[in-house]
Amino acid sequence: MTGFGRFELTEGTRHYTVEIKSVNHRYLDLSVKLPKKLNFFEVAIRNLLKKYMLRGKVDVYLTYEEEQAGLPGVCYHPEVARAYYENLCRMSEDLGLENDISLVVLSHYPEVFTLEERTEDETEVWDGLEQALKGAAERFVAARLAEGEHLKQDLLAKLSRMSVCVDYVEKRSPQIVTEYRERLTAKVTELLGETQLDPGILATELILYADKICVDEETVRLKSHIHNMEQVLEETEGIGRKLDFIAQEMNREANTILSKSNDLALSDKAIELKTEIEKLREQIQNIE
């Protein structure tokens, strides 16, 4: 099922942007693209997003900016400065020199001040990242739900047309036997003339013919499948695989009806039924 969700979040000096978009796919194919510095969050990101989606080829794009990122931090080491100062004072006493130590001079000594790379708090980074992911995922799901409602109405319309086809097949089948009896009787009369045909032979032939073309079981099962699919469409989650299975069973029954048919009108209706089922199966691939 297609869908799109975007969310931006700024927390202090951190800025997050998450985009999620998907196209139809039978299974869940999740691709996450994020900055290298956040690679260690990938498993957590995947686990979080799987709570919001079950099917589809989903691409997740995440950007992260830190205003002070890359700038070194200035660190003061008081124990080093104190050691320098104490030793300089001792040197002044030992040598009898004026103690002219100043703050500026002392600050230039090695290791009093050092430049160190800033380390980010992983917990704080994840807190913001999680909020942004959830915001984008919720908008993504909302877009899918809107599309899903349109798909539901389309599927219900297809099921309605299928029901019409099944009703026609159900009504037409007995008529085929009656028409066959009339044709058979007329043909026998034409061939035998005044000679009477044994009614038992005619009845046996009609029974064999009726059994050969009988599709009662198939139409009953098709009606049951249509009803089941309508019920499944009222469920709220994880219905794609159920619908896919029911559609396969529908297709099997329609194939059987078509293979048994030797009546042009019934064959046309069976082909129409199969066409609707194929459209249905294609559309179901879009449903999670």
Same domain, 108 and 171: no
Same domain, 209 and 136: no
Same domain, 162 and 205: yes
Same domain, 51 and 171: no
Cβ-based neighbours of 106, under 8 Å, separated by 6 or more: 81, 84, 85, 88, 112
Same domain, 280 and 155: yes
CA distance 180 to 190: 15
pTM of the model: 0.58
* pLDDT score of 69 more than 60: no
Same domain, 10 and 101: no
Same domain, 13 and 36: yes
Q: DSSP letter at 97?
A: -
Of residues 188 and 171, the one with the higher pLDDT is 171
Number of domains in the chain: 3
**Which residue segment(s) compose the domain that 81 sits in?**
72-117
CA distance 241 to 154: 18
Q: Please report the pLDDT score of residue 219 as a whole number.
A: 85
Same domain, 11 and 134: yes
Q: Please report the pLDDT score of residue 72 as a whole number.
A: 60
Same domain, 129 and 154: no
Select from 234, 240, 232 the least CA-distant residue to 55: 240
Among residues 94, 109, 143, the one where a domain terminates is: 143
Cβ-based neighbours of 231, under 8 Å, separated by 6 or more: none
pLDDT digits over 13-44, tens only? 889 999 999 887 778 899 999 988 888 899 99
Q: Please report the pLDDT score of residue 201 as a whole number.
A: 60
pLDDT digits over 127-157, tens only? 999 999 999 999 999 988 888 888 889 999 9
Torsion angle in degrees (nearest 10) through CA of 215, 218, 223, 226: -140
Helices 240-260 and 264-284 pack at an angle, to 10 degrees, of 160
Strand order, beta sheet including 56-66: 3-11, 14-23, 56-66, 28-33
Question: Which pLDDT band, with edges at 50, 70 and 90, does 258 fall under?
Answer: confident
Average pLDDT value for residue range 166-193: 70
pLDDT digits over 212-254, tens only? 667 788 888 999 999 999 999 988 777 888 898 999 999 999 9
**What kind and span of H or E run contains 117?**
strand 113-117
Same domain, 160 and 280: yes
**What kind and span of H or E run contains 138?**
helix 122-192
Cα 25 from chain centroid (whole Å): 7
CA distance 189 to 206: 16
Among residues 128, 143, 158, the one where a domain terminates is: 143
Q: Give the CATH number of the domain where residue 230 resides.
A: 1.20.120
Q: Please report the pLDDT score of residue 197 as a whole number.
A: 60
Same domain, 153 and 60: no
Same domain, 39 and 139: yes
Select from 71, 62, 57, 55 the least CA-distant residue to 13: 71
Select from 83, 89, 113 the least CA-distant residue to 101: 89
pLDDT digits over 188-219, tens only? 556 555 656 656 666 666 566 556 667 788 88
